[in-house]
Amino acid sequence: MNELDRVADRFAVGELPDAELSLVAAEALARDLDSPALVELACLHCTDTREAPALFRAALAELGHVADTESTWAAREATVRLRRARRDTAALLAEDSFDTELASRIAHVLLSHLAAVPGGACSELSELAYCLESASYALGEGFRDPDELRDEVRALCRTLVHGRSESDRAPTAPAARSVPRSWWRRAIRH
Element (H, E) at 148: helix 146-162
Per-residue confidence (pLDDT) for residue 124, from 0 to 100: 61
Give CA–CA dist 86/94, Å, rounded.
12
Give CA–CA dist 132/18, Å, rounded.
34
Instruction: Report which of residues 22 and 96 the model is more confident about.
Output: 22
Instruction: Report which of residues 37 and 123 the model is more confident about.
Output: 37
Instruction: Report which of residues 59 and 126 the model is more confident about.
Output: 59
Whether 12 has a pLDDT exceeding 50, the answer reads yes
Of 79, 116, 86, which is closest to residue 102 (Cα–Cα)? 86
Per-residue confidence (pLDDT) for residue 181, from 0 to 100: 39
Whether 189 has a pLDDT exceeding 80, the answer reads no
Q: Region of 100 please: left (phi>0), alpha (psi -120 to 50) or beta.
A: alpha
Give CA–CA dist 104/153, Å, rounded.
11
Whether 84 has a pLDDT exceeding 70, the answer reads yes
Per-residue confidence (pLDDT) for residue 141, from 0 to 100: 76
Residue 113 banded pLDDT, cuts 50, 70, 90 = confident
Q: Region of 170 please: left (phi>0), alpha (psi -120 to 50) or beta.
A: beta
